[in-house]
């Protein structure tokens, strides 16, 4: 990716953007590309009995953490939406798709990263489908490359039972930005876990090192290329 490009990352929840492609965001930003992160679900209310029971302070803190993570990664902008957490399957698909269509229309990205549709988390599945719909390759559309990313503790925990498996066929060398990814993930104090949880720093490093070993570098993030027009 040589010429300066506009990149859009569409994530379901705060922290998905870091887990899925945090090292890539940091690398692209360092290389001068414009990266916008869009997070669709508010990310916290599923932990409470009902949405109204979630303290406003908790949501405010989580969204502040998302902005701080984006700053660490060098994202141009972090756009936070407030769709219901872990309930995106209750939102009309048209509404989710229209939200993404608006983002694409405003940003005009050449490259889009989003969730793999076979994840355990239903919000990831909804977002993947909505992104596919919103980025239909009609004449004049800005999106030239579309990638699915994996999310530790969701993609692998589906155990290939809920849809097609994640097939990594595109990789980004993140040896220079892996620790930036780990630092950004540390912003999410309620989402990081102790090893051996997949969202622990040790596991995230191991995942990156494993993918790096597959393609001959020290650390990498893996993606499934959906389509590319070159």
pLDDT greater than 80 at residue 20: yes
pLDDT of 24 over the 80 cut? yes
Q: Is residue 223 pLDDT above 80, yes or no?
A: yes
Q: Which of 117-126, 175-184, 190-199 has the lowest mean pLDDT?
A: 190-199
Q: Which residue has the tokens 């997949």?
A: 198
**What kind of fold does domain 6-225 have according to CATH?**
Rossmann fold (3.40.50)
Whether residue 144 contacts residue 229, with contact meaning beta carbons closer than 8 Å, is answered with: yes
With a cut of 90, say whether residue 54 has pLDDT above it: no
The verdict on whether omega for the bond into residue 196 sits within 30 degrees of 0, i.e. cis, is yes
Residue 114, Cα to own-chain centre: how many angstroms?
A: 5
pTM of the model: 0.96
User: Token pair for residue 58?
Assistant: 């908790």
Q: What is the mean pLDDT of the chain?
A: 95
User: For 65-116, what is each residue's pLDDT tens digit?
Assistant: 999 999 999 999 999 999 999 999 999 999 999 999 999 999 999 999 999 9
pLDDT confidence of 52, banded at 50, 70, 90? low
Residues in contact with 115: Cβ distance below 8 Å, sequence separation at least 6, in sequence order? 10, 11, 12, 16, 20, 124, 125, 127, 128, 131, 148, 149, 151
On the question of pLDDT at 50 being above 90, the answer is no
H or E, element range at 184: helix 178-185
Give residue 136's pLDDT. 97
8 Å CB contact between 55 and 173? no
Q: What is the pLDDT of residue 53?
A: 61
User: Which tens digits make up the pLDDT trace of 119-141?
Assistant: 999 999 999 999 999 999 999 99
């Amino acid at each position: 990716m040589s010429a300066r490009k506009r990149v859009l990352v569409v994530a379901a929840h705060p922290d998905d953007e870091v887990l899925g492609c945090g090292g890539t965001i940091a690398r692209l930003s360092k290389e001068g590309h414009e990266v916008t992160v869009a997070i669709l679900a508010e990310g916290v209310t599923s932990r409470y009995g009902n949405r109204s029971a979630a303290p406003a302070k908790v949501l405010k803190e989580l969204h502040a953490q998302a902005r701080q993570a984006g700053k660490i990664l060098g994202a141009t902008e972090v756009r936070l939406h407030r769709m219901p957490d872990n309930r995106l399957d209750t939102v009309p698909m048209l509404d989710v798709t229209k939200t993404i269509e608006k983002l694409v229309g405003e940003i005009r990205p050449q490259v889009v990263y989003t969730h793999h549709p076979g994840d355990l988390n239903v919000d990831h599945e909804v977002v993947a489908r909505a992104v596919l719909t919103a980025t239909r390759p009609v004449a004049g559309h800005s999106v030239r490359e579309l990638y699915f990313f994996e999310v530790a503790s969701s993609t692998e925990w589906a155990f290939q039972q809920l849809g097609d498996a994640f097939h990594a066929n595109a990789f980004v060398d993140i040896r220079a930005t892996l620790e930036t990814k780990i630092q950004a993930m540390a912003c999410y104090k309620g989402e990081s876990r102790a090893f051996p949880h997949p969202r622990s720093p040790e596991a995230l490093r191991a995942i990156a090192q494993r993918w790096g070993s597959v393609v001959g570098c020290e650390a990498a993030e893996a993606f499934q290329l959906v389509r590319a027009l070159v």
